[in-house]
Amino acid sequence: MAGTGWTTVNTRLRQVAGGGLLDRRDFLRLGAGFATIAAAGQMPIAQAQGAASARPAWQRMLGQADLPYGQPSGHEAHVQRHLWDTTPETAGFAGWHSPIQHLRGIITPNGLHFAVHHNGIPDIDPEGHRLIIHGLVERPLSFDLARLLRYPLVSAIRFIECAGNTAANALSPTAMDADAQSLSGQVSCAEWTGIPLRVLLAEAGVKPGARWVVAEGADGGSHARSLPLQKLMDDAVLALYQNGERLRPSQGYPMRLLVPGWEGNVNVKWLHRLEVTDQPAHTKDESGLYTRVLEDGGLLQFAPTMEVKSIITQPSGQQLLPEPGFYEISGLAWSGRGGIRRVEVSGDGGRSWAAAQLQSPVLDKAFTRFSIPWHWTGGRHLLMSRAEDCQGQRQPDRKAWKAQYARHSFNHYNAIQAWRVNRDGRVENHYG
């Protein structure tokens, strides 16, 4: 639309920080006279009459039949998960990334929820699956699914993030040119429904001296993690449903552990055994991959809380801004410690910051969607977001994050993400 006059900045729009960040209220109240910038989003109908006068084919015929289980449009086939690397899908570590740069709102649809499999997806017959609670309990118990479905259920919208999400930014000495999905797509958010673990543990009767619970999956290879009993009694759930329907096989069908705010792999999928103990089991999964090595050579073990983090998803890596004009900057923030208190956005590489709008409801240990309007005049910009959670925790910059850990450490990376907008409109990963 360059040259039509529609992209001229309306000088009555208030800037709230440098780099073109605008006051959202101007866009939501009437009569603000913002048409001259927002109108980059449309064209006068006179120009469009050629297109409008001919009715497209789909308006001139009956449509197609629906499906008993609906599917996305074929035009959205590019919106799918992809594997981070070329490791085999069914042996060893397979990490499926969610296309966060194509999603809006806070709910991740079930077909696009990120997933990590250590041993592929077991083909479990739900009739033959059992959940066993044993160890330091008064009454060892074995539950089948039909009985579990009769228990009192609770629901909550919660994120899950892989410990290794955004590993490339932790490890790569220069910023890898990749999209948001590849860099940070191992996080998702859904409404989970299940049985509070404390109900099942109370039923088994936890003995004095019990401090830990070893949770084991029914996948070949038996992924297992040790969890403090206190956390399971606090807010952990035996999840049976995700976004209304029963869990997908990829998410642990017929049941998984949901441990809100803690790294993905402790949310044990295909859960079949909880052993109550007095100490952690030091399973292969917790002694190896999910231990962090500190800068001084010390080990950080059993520290699974995912720290406060945020990412701008629109615009983000490898996207192309087609022309100067108005855009909405939108992104996601989350914290394993609770709710998000505040997200700030910078359009000038951190020299100035403005508070983004948080979409309500802001829920504990869930995605919070933030946004701020932005006028891109065609220059080079560094876009950044930084979140603060309800405990006052804030994201470090990359240098500060790196200083804490050994050079090869990559788990729990939560540094501020910067996206560079080039003059040609191309967006690239950047170490700010």
Per CB under 8 A, contacts with its own copies among 51-70 are 51-52, 56, 58-70
- For 384, which DSSP code? E
- Are 175 and 428 contacting, i.e. CB atoms less than 8 angstroms apart? yes
Residue 256 within binding range of its own copies, rule CB under 8 A: no
Q: How far is the CB of 274 from its own copies (least distance, A)?
A: 12
Number of residues in contact with its own copies under rule CB under 8 A:
132
The H-or-E segment that residue 277 falls in is: strand 271-277
Residues 130-149 that bind its own copies (CB under 8 A): 130, 132, 134, 139-143, 146-148
Rounded Cα distance, 254 and 148, in Å:
11
Query: How far is the CA of 235 from the CAs of 17, 87, 140, 260, 427, in angstroms?
Result: 40, 34, 22, 7, 39
Nearer to its own copies by C-beta: 175 or 237?
237
Using CB under 8 A as the binding rule, whether residue 154 contacts its own copies is answered as: yes
CA–CA separation, 116 and 413 (whole Å):
17
209 is a contact residue toward its own copies (CB under 8 A): no
Taking the complex as a whole, the smallest distance from the CB of residue 406 to its own copies amounts, in Å, to: 31
Cβ neighbors of 349 (< 8 A, separation 6 or more) are: 19, 381, 382, 384, 418, 432
Instruction: Name the region of 270 (left: φ>0; alpha: ψ -120 to 50; beta: rest).
Output: left
Distance, in Å, from the CA atom of 226 to the CA atom of 222, rounded to the nearest integer, reads 13
| Pairing relationship of beta strands 271-277 and 130-135 according to DSSP bridges | parallel
Q: Is 264 helix (H, G, I), strand (E, B) or coil?
A: helix
Q: How many residues are given for the chain?
A: 432
Pairing of strands 94-97, 82-83: antiparallel
Report angle CA 239, 82, 90 to the nearest 5 degrees.
70
Beta carbon of residue 36, minimum distance to its own copies (angstroms, whole number): 10
Residues 5-34 that bind its own copies (CB under 8 A): 24, 27-28, 30-32, 34
Query: Which positions from 259 through 298 interact with its own copies, judged by CB under 8 A?
Result: 272
What is the smallest separation between the CB atom of 62 and its own copies, expressed in angstroms? 5
- Region from 161-169, 187-195, 401-409, 412-420 binding its own copies, contact rule CB under 8 A: 187-195
Candidates 10-18, 179-187, 195-203, 334-342; binding stretch for its own copies (CB under 8 A): 195-203
Q: Give me the residue label for tokens 């441990």.
A: 259
Burial of residue 317 (number of CB atoms within 10 Å: 0-12, 13-18, 19+)? buried
Q: Which is nearer to its own copies, 196 or 347 (CB)?
A: 196
- Strands 82-83 and 299-300, sheet pairing: unpaired
Decide if residue 85 touches its own copies (CB under 8 A): no
CA distance 216 to 214: 6
> For residue 361, is the peptide bond before it cis, meaning its omega torsion is within 30 degrees of 0?
yes
Which span sits near its own copies by CB under 8 A: 12-20, 81-89, 382-390, 409-417?
81-89
Part in contact with its own copies (CB under 8 A); list of ranges 13-21, 160-168, 219-227, 337-345 = 219-227
Measured from the CB atom, is 133 or 170 closer to its own copies?
133
Contact segment (CB under 8 A) with its own copies among 99-107, 304-312, 336-344, 383-391 equals 99-107
Among 90, 287, 377, 422, binds its own copies (CB under 8 A): 90
43 binds its own copies (CB under 8 A): yes
Which of 7, 16, 21, 129 binds its own copies (CB under 8 A)? It is 129
Cβ 381 to its own copies shortest distance, Å = 16
- Which of 370, 413 has the CB closer to its own copies? 370
Cross-strand partners of 332: 311, 369
Which residues in 363-382 contact its own copies (CB under 8 A)? 363, 369, 371, 373
User: CB–CB of 314/169 below 8 Å?
Assistant: no
Binding test (CB under 8 A) with its own copies, winner from 326, 353, 405, 410: 326
238 forms part of the interface with its own copies (CB under 8 A) = no
Does 151 engage in binding with its own copies (CB under 8 A)? Answer: yes
Tell me how far apart the alpha carbons of residues 25 and 39 are, in angstroms, rounded to a whole number.
17
Binder among 39, 311, 312, 384 for its own copies (CB under 8 A): 39
SS3 308: coil
CB of 324 to its own copies, least distance (A): 12
- Cβ-count burial of 60 within 10 angstroms (0-12 exposed, 13-18 middle, 19+ buried)? exposed
Choice from 15, 93, 102, 378 touching its own copies (CB under 8 A): 102
Residues numbered 391 to 430 that lie near its own copies (CB under 8 A) are none
Taking CB under 8 A as the criterion, the residue among 10, 15, 172, 222 binding its own copies is 222
- Please, which residue, 195 or 416, has the CB nearer to its own copies? 195
In the region spanning residues 330 to 359, those forming contacts with its own copies, defined by CB under 8 A, are 330, 359
